[in-house]
Amino acid sequence: MVVGEAPYRAGTVNRILVLSLSGIGDTLMATPMLHELRLQYPSAALDVLVLWGGAVEVLRGNPHVREVIRHDFLKAGKVSSVARCLELRGRRYDLSINTHTQGRRGYRLIARLIGARVRLSHEYENQSWMDRLLVTQSLPQDYSLHVMENNARLLGVLGLSPRLLSPGYEVFLSEEEQRWAVGWLENRKLLGRPWLGIHTGSGGTKNLALRRWPVGHYAQLLQEWRRRWPSIPVVLFGAQEERALHEQLRQAGAEFVEAECPGLREAMALVAHAQGFLSVDTVFMHIAAAMGVPRQWVIETPTLNRPVHPRRDDWTLIPNPSIAGRHLDFYRYDGRPIAGTADELVGMMSSVSVESVLSFLEPWTAGIRTGNSQ
């Protein structure tokens, strides 16, 4: 059910602001919505407000966006954040859209302070009468649909029908960034060779770090990988916060190549050359899907709800016996952390054994040895 005012018709929209504040992966999943808005409103000024520096990197070069505006609402003081919102209010946006999965009420408060005439959002479990004062129209989220589909459904609130036939991730890398990746691989004699990419991280807000597959498990995996398949290199990806994890792996005797990328865009260009990619549900899971890595495996976590599955048909879930499909018992898009104590969540992720992960990757390695890795 849509609440609020009647649909705001397309012909009067000149300035649009998309709020994509909840995460870098969420911003990547919002890129088809930006393309859709450009198709629907070809002459409108389309800006995007983000919180994370990585979200800026995801949107760099996007031809559908006029300006990417970054403000770190988590670290900036309240006075600074209100002042930033009021500055954006002066731009007099006609339409603002809070993309899925921005469940925290604070995101809707930001939209209200900016004050576009029409403010769209989804309805979440924490919805109350207050939210009807913050947004003008809303639509219940649907946990059975992907984020991209939840975003596209907002078009109906505006009386519009989607024009993109097959919405998917959109990344626009420069030739320089792609050349950097080729040069990096050439210098390490990896260009043209099959190699496995791994992201060991898991996000750092709330208690999301607890959904990480244990470092000790990664150490055992890499040691066993080296013993079984020494001809297939492993490249570890991550930002600065993952460097400490990589050091722990080195101290445990694990062998790997570290992707020392200048920034996220170079990392994306490098991931495009991987033949396989392993992670939990992080931004790198979405990057691997966006870059079309031939084989992708995702270790099941309590936050891997259907809306944030990789947007592709041929990825592989490595099941977690402690979750058994009960993701919504642990995590919803209502601003709260993962349900459970730290010990419970660590135990949950520890229940995915090293041998089970290797068993899912083994057919791929066999295909490489026989020349049929697809």
pLDDT by 10s per residue, the chain, length 374:
344 444 445 448 999 999 999 999 999 999 999 999 999 999 999 999 999 999 999 999 999 999 999 999 999 999 999 999 999 999 999 999 999 999 999 999 999 999 999 999 999 999 888 898 999 999 999 999 999 999 999 999 999 999 998 899 999 999 999 999 999 999 999 999 999 999 999 887 889 999 999 999 999 999 999 999 999 999 999 988 889 999 999 999 999 999 999 999 999 999 999 999 999 999 999 999 999 999 999 999 999 999 999 999 999 999 999 999 899 999 999 999 999 999 999 999 999 999 999 999 999 999 887 666 55
Token readout for 160 is 């519009």
Same domain flag for 116 and 205 = no
Residue 165 lies in a domain: no
Q: What percentage of the chain exceeds 70 in pLDDT?
A: 95
Last residue of a domain, one of 101, 129, 157: 157
Same domain, 187 and 145: no
In a domain, 31, yes or no: yes
Task: Decide if 166 is inside a domain.
Answer: no
User: Is 236 contained in some domain?
Assistant: yes
Residues 257 and 326 in one domain: yes
Residues 6+ apart with CB under 8 A from 287: 28, 267, 268, 271
Residue numbers of the domain that contains 252: 175-369
Q: Which residues pair with 17 in a beta bridge?
A: 47, 96
Same domain, 152 and 182: no
Q: What is the pLDDT at residue 9?
A: 53
Note whether 115 and 252 are same-domain residues: no
Residue 170, domain member (yes or no): no
164 in a structural domain: no
Whether 184 and 316 map to the same domain: the answer is yes
Q: Could you tell me if 186 and 115 lie in one domain?
A: no
Both 202 and 67 in one domain: the answer is: no
State which H helix or E strand residue 297 sits in: strand 295-299
Whether residue 245 sits in one domain with residue 135: no
Q: Are residues 7 and 107 in the same domain?
A: yes
Residue 356 pairs in a beta bridge with none
CATH of the domain at 328: 3.40.50.2000
Backbone angles phi, psi at 232, to 5 degrees: -110, 105
Using the 3D structure, point to which of 99, 124, 157 is the last residue of a domain: 157
Whether 374 maps to a domain, the answer reads no
Question: Structural domain tally of the chain?
Answer: 2
**Rounded to whole angstroms, what are the CA distances from 58 to 178, 191, 215, 287?**
15, 24, 28, 10
End-of-domain residue from the set 157, 187, 221: 157
Q: Are residues 282 and 216 in the same domain?
A: yes
Q: Are residues 97 and 224 in the same domain?
A: no
Q: What is the full DSSP assignment across 115-181?
A: T-SEEEEEE-TT--TTHHHH-SEEEE--TTS-HHHHHHHHHHHTT-----SS--------HHHHHHH
Cα separation of 99 and 372, whole Å? 40
Q: Is residue 168 part of a domain?
A: no
